[in-house]
């Protein structure tokens, strides 16, 4: 609707420079510049390389977003920016840019939480999020299960990974299978030709003795080690590694744990909506398994399209739009870039 505020969002917490523009729940522009290829040969994101790439990309990406939306900075009602969590130097570029644009154009600025933005982005595809909802956030840096009572003011963490993040597990397993970085997409692709039941990999923190203390927590480090041992044994025996079967069996183990814990949280709390966000939410098996299992319990699964699951500026704009609509006050112009911003802080 034309009378809804026009919100611009800036994302620079990791390796994607994103600028998105939304009006209400309508996405008008989603410009992205990625430094992922510069990190590929290191097998992980190199913070200094990411910061420099953001510095080079931020102004052109901003210009592209404004052109794509057919608006000027003067038309924007508020600017939202990822304040944290993320890489300190990378966050700083986005936060400094947001402050500069806000000051120059006399616009309010909202420093927001990257993880809450991964939840909010779903509203661009599926409309307002029913509250309360359960959110499963799975990315390269985080794996959390949250109770979302009021996305504008706070979320309640139910559980999180106690070691590796889900995306990190995909990246590490891909590396030992000789697949490129980031590992999620190639494993997803390989797995389509593999047998998910070929190898029985462990499901972390699902045994009765672990559930007492870690009902909604995750652990992927044991799974990663199990895959490494299995692959090494094959190599020692001089046998070829069946990459498709290992990929499918590993992916099945991750998706099994993620969906069973997320749906257990929904059922225990009597909640009918599960929203899944973060880069790993782009995984085709996770999406299919969540929907299939949720149907039995009458739980609705909301997962945005893959391009909105991985880091982007639109998600930050979507959360900014939600905050403005909820009447939340903007941040001060000295808002911080906080690499360790707690999950419970939606805006600073």
Q: Which residues bind Zn ion (CB under 5 A)?
A: 139, 311
**Smallest gap from residue 120 Cβ to Zn ion (A):** 12
**Smallest gap from residue 165 Cβ to ligand KG4 (A):** 7
Round to whole Å and give the CA distance between 277 and 186. Answer: 19
In the bound state with ligand KG4, the residue whose beta carbon lies nearer, of 173 and 199, is 173
Give yes or no for residue 279 binding ligand KG4 (CB under 6 A): yes
**Smallest gap from residue 317 Cβ to ligand KG4 (A):** 16
In the bound state with ligand KG4, the residue whose beta carbon lies nearer, of 139 and 219, is 139
Q: Is 313 annotated as a binding residue?
A: no
Round to whole Å and give the CA distance between 195 and 2. Answer: 50
Give yes or no for residue 282 binding ligand KG4 (CB under 6 A): yes
Residue 297: CB partners within 8 Å, gap ≥ 6?
Answer: 263, 266, 267
Q: From the centroid of its chain, how far is CA 207?
A: 27
Long-range contacts at 231-236 (CB < 8 A, ≥ 24 apart)? 231/176, 231/177
| Alpha-carbon torsion angle 287, 28, 107, 323, nearest 10 | -30
Q: Is 137 annotated as a binding residue?
A: yes
**Smallest gap from residue 289 Cβ to ligand KG4 (A):** 12
Give yes or no for residue 278 binding ligand KG4 (CB under 6 A): yes
Q: From the centroid of its chain, how far is CA 255?
A: 15
Question: Which does residue 84 touch among ligand KG4, Zn ion, none (CB within 5 to 8 A, set by kind)?
Answer: none
Tell me the longest C-alpha to C-alpha distance in the chain: 67
Give yes or no for residue 201 binding ligand KG4 (CB under 6 A): no
Q: Is 118 annotated as a binding residue?
A: yes
Q: What are the tokens at 42?
A: 């290191």
Q: Is 100 annotated as a binding residue?
A: no
266 φ/ψ angles, rounded to the nearest 5 degrees: -60, -45
Q: Is 147 annotated as a binding residue?
A: no
Helix (H) or strand (E) segment spanning residue 56? helix 47-69
Give yes or no for residue 139 binding ligand KG4 (CB under 6 A): yes
Q: Is 43 annotated as a binding residue?
A: no
Give yes or no for residue 188 binding ligand KG4 (CB under 6 A): yes
Give yes or no for residue 167 binding ligand KG4 (CB under 6 A): yes
Give yes or no for residue 94 binding ligand KG4 (CB under 6 A): no
Round to whole Å and give the CA distance between 178 and 172. Answer: 10
**Smallest gap from residue 133 Cβ to Zn ion (A):** 19
Round to whole Å and give the CA distance between 54 and 281. Answer: 24
Task: Give the total of residues touching ligand KG4 (CB under 6 A).
Answer: 19
340 φ/ψ angles, rounded to the nearest 5 degrees: -110, 30
Torsion-angle region of 215 (φ positive above 0: left; ψ -120 to 50: alpha; else: beta) = alpha
In the bound state with ligand KG4, the residue whose beta carbon lies nearer, of 139 and 273, is 139
Task: Considering only the stretches 75-83, 165-173, 228-236, 322-330, report the one whose residues sit in contact with ligand KG4 under the rule CB under 6 A.
Answer: 165-173
Question: Which does residue 310 touch among ligand KG4, Zn ion, none (CB within 5 to 8 A, set by kind)?
Answer: ligand KG4
Question: Which does residue 129 touch among Zn ion, ligand KG4, none (CB within 5 to 8 A, set by kind)?
Answer: none
Round to whole Å and give the CA distance between 194 and 197. Answer: 9
Q: Which of 9, 140, 204, 330 binds ligand KG4 (CB under 6 A)?
A: 140
Sheet holding 300-302, edge to edge: 154-160, 143-150, 133-138, 273-277, 300-302
Q: Site residues (CB under 6 A) for ligand KG4?
A: 14, 139-141, 167, 170-171, 182-185, 188, 278-280, 282-283, 310-311
């Amino acid at each position: 609707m034309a009378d809804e505020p026009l919100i611009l969002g800036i994302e620079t917490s990791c390796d994607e420079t994103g600028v998105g523009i939304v009006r209400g729940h309508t996405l008008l522009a989603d410009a992205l510049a990625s430094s992922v290829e510069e990190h590929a040969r290191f097998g992980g994101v190199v913070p200094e390389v990411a910061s420099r790439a953001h510095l080079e990309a931020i102004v052109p990406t901003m210009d592209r977003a404004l052109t794509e939306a057919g608006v000027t900075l003067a038309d924007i009602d508020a600017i939202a920016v990822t304040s944290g969590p993320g890489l300190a130097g990378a966050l700083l570029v986005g936060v400094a840019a947001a402050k500069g644009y806000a000051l120059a154009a006399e616009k309010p600025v909202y420093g927001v939480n990257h993880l809450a933005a991964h939840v909010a982005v779903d509203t661009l595809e599926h409309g307002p999020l029913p509250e309360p909802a359960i959110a499963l956030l799975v990315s390269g840096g985080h794996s959390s299960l949250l109770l979302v009572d009021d996305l504008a003011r706070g979320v309640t963490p139910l559980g999180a990974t106690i070691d590796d993040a889900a995306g990190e597990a995909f990246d590490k397993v891909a590396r030992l299978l000789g697949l490129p970085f980031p590992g999620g997409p190639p494993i997803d692709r390989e797995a389509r030709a593999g047998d998910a039941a070929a190898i029985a990999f462990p499901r972390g923190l699902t045994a009765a003795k672990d559930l007492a203390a870690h009902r909604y927590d995750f652990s992927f480090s044991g799974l990663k080690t199990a895959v490494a041992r299995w692959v090494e044994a094959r190599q020692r025996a001089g046998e070829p590694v069946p990459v498709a079967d290992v990929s499918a069996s590993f992916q099945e183990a991750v998706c099994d744990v993620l969906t069973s814990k997320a749906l257990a949280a929904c059922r225990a709390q009597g909640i009918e909506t599960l929203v899944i966000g973060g880069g790993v939410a782009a995984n085709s098996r996770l999406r299919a398994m969540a929907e299939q299992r949720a149907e039995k319990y009458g739980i609705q699964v909301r997962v945005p399209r893959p391009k909105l699951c991985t880091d982007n500026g639109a998600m930050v704009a979507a959360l900014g739009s939600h905050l403005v609509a909820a009447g939340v006050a903007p941040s001060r112009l000295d808002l911080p870039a906080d690499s360790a911003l707690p999950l419970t802080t939606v805006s600073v």
